[in-house]
Structure 1
Amino acid sequence: MTDELTITGVECFAHHGVFEFERREGQTFVIDLTLGLDTAPAAASDDLQDTVDYGSLVARVKAAVESDPVDLIETVAQRISDVCLADGRVEWARVTIHKPDAPIEATFADVTLTITRNNP
């Protein structure tokens, strides 16, 4: 059985996008993470070393989003999932990127991309 750890609403400011003005001006991206892992060892030991330290994880995810601009949010999502899956206890990661200020010529609430990746 796999448990789920979810962190929502991680705000990052980055310079990703296809258009030059997105790269120049930057914009806010909001990240939601859900990780599949077995939390029974941590529950039994009550020791942070036996689970994913979500404070450290968020810091690494934020650093991954805010560095090295790329064109596509698909690339950013894969980068984030790689960070999450680097901890071997994480069986799978679901990453959602919100791009609320996407350059769309219409009224809209949000643009999101969600990917799910498994640890090999």
Structure 2
Amino acid sequence: MRTVGLGKTLEQWREEIREEKNKADRWERKFQEVQTRNEALEKSLSKNQKEKRRTKGQSDRVRKIFSLVSKSKIYGSSTWKQTMSSFTTFRIKLETGITLWEKPWFRFER
């Protein structure tokens, strides 16, 4: 077989070109896969950002309503204070009960 100027036969050059073309095709497929994945991630990020804004808006509305209710004259100061006091008392009792229930000596000595 004849060698073409650089020490390889024509068939060897064709084989090398074929291998390089296959490598380029594989890299192109990987690039397309990554690009598709990036597009999906961007859509997901956009959706999550919209959800975050919506949730923040709802949270702000709840805070505003709570602030208005707590300052409202509809709930007289004594009624509101009694409600908050009883809620606080209940919360403290609940937390204390849970804390005590977690103690092994408390469960068995009762």
Q: Which TM-score bucket, shorter chain as reference?
A: under 0.3
Choose between structure 1 and 2: higher strand proportion: 1
Q: Which has the higher contact order (CA 8 A, sep 6+)?
A: 1
TM-score, normalised to structure 1, is 0.21
Greater Rg by CA:
2
Structure with more of its chain in helix, by fraction: 2
